[in-house]
Structure 1
């Protein structure tokens, strides 16, 4: 790095996670082994969201083309001069002597910001970038990210304390003969949770068909909507799951107060972001043997970060810590300058 031994942006917090409206405080550290002539040192803080994906589209005559879909939002962008002068200001360059130099900074975040998020087709990202501008030479840059966590208070969500229930049946077809149905009653104790809490699962699965049921599973699913200018893309992933085994013909199987622990997750809705929306659901998936589709039931849940006050505290579950890897880490470099169907209370399906 020549004259530059150390060039980093650090925060006053060991874990740089902030609520909207809080001050982001830290310092820029520059360590030189010789005098460096500079125009100035500036720091830029920025918050933004971006979505992007590509799709292959038919272009006629058997050909195809790649279409790009994208959108961006900027929540704030502010710059500070830490030393010297701005690039477009008149004046003399300065000589920064050898040694260690620290430049503190502080910035109050706007009061309305979405939580940090990284998904398959988009992200909400916050970072600080410091630039050493040098006359007639390459600039140096150091970039590091920080996280924002917007509050979602479950006590303000009307459905959070209410239990949810769904019943559904399915008749299995076997060539030209229909067997009896498989049916399920599926319920959860309430609809609002924070990470670390357990969703209490109850289910009754009745197998009146002429086949075995291979397994039943319960998933906590995250569904993300990415909104570009002209298109919307849906992405779903499993974030937690439980599994039970076979159910023989004529048997009834029960899930009794099973606990599905909520892992660390971004709060529902991603409030403050227009181009990305996040929802969560609990899904019961009953898998019969043979060539037939599964019996699937969905119940919507809300994931917040301020827990319900009028819910009896659960015993603390055992959860494994999840390490957070920010989208970009502190670096120094040289530069020249599928939606699912609507939920319903009762649904009967008679085809495979």
Structure 2
């Protein structure tokens, strides 16, 4: 006898939902022979989990924590008459629709190896003889993070740093780097315009300057924490010789499909993004590295009044410095100039949903070993996130 279970989403082929939405699904039960069935059940489950180890040998410690958001089992049919232990099914295919309303407050789905926020629809059928067949179907929940509700998302920010390198105990002269962002809030699909200047007043070349978008994820478990770092996208400029400068005039740093900042609603996983500048100084023991905060949302900034908006009076820039201002004059970029880019995505245009490109796919058990093809037992899953394709 071959028994198969299949779960199909009826009202959303993308498999992406918002908190509070209704999931409409169908559980299909197929049997090739007469079957005596006790019951068929659907379960909706949402949870987060973190898990990692530290140390080795006798000092090895495991850290883990789970946070449950919902777990609801719905009987699709069930034998309740005590005189009827099982219900007889003839060979065939049988469909059972099921609906479930998601809670109003949920964190966005996330898969990060060390931890996850995962949502599943499960189904199981109990056959006479104690045999239970199971199947499960992952789906994505996206919690809204509207950049328009976050004043800091519109705020420009900048940082500069100066280092005097040394080569064989001799100072090589100062190298000064400045990076400026005209705002801090972006959505996947946008490009982050980079404005920067690298001034090399030393005697050694700078091999290259790299600016990258980084995701830092913090995982927590009963007071313990660990962090994982991931590079989302990178752009680079070439060498800067002694006495030379290099100007970045709006180079676009791509924001790929990735989970929103903070992962609101989950207390054991936190996500932060930064834009990092790194200058690789040739022959020096010290490179320049600094970062500026970035917020990745799910809804893009809208133009206010149809025009780009400058910062409020008295709040021209959020300035970050690694040290007191250097004596090097950055004449090619006005430190107080306000340049705010206009969001390029149409205000009312809906996003597409693209599979996450910042984490690896995970193998989630799809069904128990009733399939002749063992690979059918698993699904390679990654969440999908809003993606706003920009105008050409």
Which TM-score band (shorter chain)? 0.7 to 0.9
CA distance in 1, matches of 2:302, 2:345: 15
Question: Is 1:137 aligned with 2:130?
Answer: yes
Choose which of 167, 178, 185 in structure 2 pairs with 1:174: 167
Structure 1 counterpart of 2:26 = 27
Q: Distance in 2 between matches of 1:15 and 1:327?
A: 19
Q: Does 1:304 align with 2:303?
A: no
The answer (yes or no) to whether the contact 1:9–1:330 under 8 Å persists in 2 is: no
Structure of higher RCO (CA pairs closer than 8 Å, 6+ residues apart)? 1
User: Residues of 2 paired with 1:102 and 1:289: CA distance?
Assistant: 67
Alignment partner, residue 99 of structure 1: 92
Matched, 1:255 2:285: no
1:93 deviates by 1.3
Q: Is the 8 A contact 1:141 1:333 kept in 2?
A: no
- After TM superposition, the structure 1 stretch with the greater mean CA deviation from structure 2, 69-78 or 165-174, is 165-174
Aligned to 2:194, which of 201, 217, 235? 201
Counterpart CA distance in 1 for 2:82 and 2:300 is 51
- Residue 16 in structure 1 maps to residue 15 in structure 2: yes
Residue 68, structure 1, aligned to residue 62, structure 2: yes
Q: Residue 247 and residue 275 in structure 1: after superposition, are their counterparts in 2 closer, same or farther (change >3 A)?
A: same
Distance (Å, rounded) in 2 between the aligned partners of 1:106 and 1:133? 21
Q: Contact 1:3–1:35 at 8 Å: present in 2 too?
A: no
Q: Which residue number corresponds to residue 346 of structure 1?
A: none
| Aligned residue among 335, 339, 343 for 1:313 | 343
Contact kept in structure 1, 2:50 and 2:116, CA below 8 Å: yes
* Greater share of strand: 1
Query: How many Å separate the matches in 2 of 1:158 and 1:85?
Result: 57
Could you tell me how far apart the structure 1 residues matched to 2:142 and 2:43 are? 20
Superposition deviation, residue 230 in structure 1: 2.9
2:139 aligned residue: 146
Structure 1 vs Structure 2 CA RMSD: 2.0
**2:258 is equivalent to residue 222 of structure 1:** no
* Equivalent in the alignment of 2:264: 271
Q: What corresponds to 2:108 in structure 1?
A: 115
Contact 2:257 2:355 in 1 (8 A): no
Distance 1:115 1:21 in 2: 13
**Unpaired stretches in structure 1, ≥5 consecutive residues:** 58-62, 335-352
* Moved beyond 6 Å, runs of 4+: none
| Secondary structure of the corresponding residue to residue 95 of structure 2 | strand
> Offset of 1:214 from its aligned partner?
0.2
Name the structure 1 match of 2:232: 239
In structure 2, stretches of 5+ residues that fail to align are 309-341, 347-352, 371-392
Q: Provide the rounded CA distance (Å) in 2 between the counterparts of 1:329 and 1:154.
A: 36
The two structures have a TM-score, normalised by structure 1, of 0.87
Displacement of 1:23: 0.6
Alignment length (residue pairs): 322
Q: Summarize deviations over 1:103-154 as a string: whole Å, max 9, x none.
A: 0000000000000001131000000111111232321001110110000000
Residue 157 of structure 1 pairs with residue 157 of structure 2:
no
For residues 279 and 68 of structure 1, the distance between their equivalents in structure 2, rounded to whole angstroms, comes to 25
Distance change (3 Å), C-alpha of 1:89 and 1:330: farther
Structure 2 equivalent of residue 348 of structure 1: none
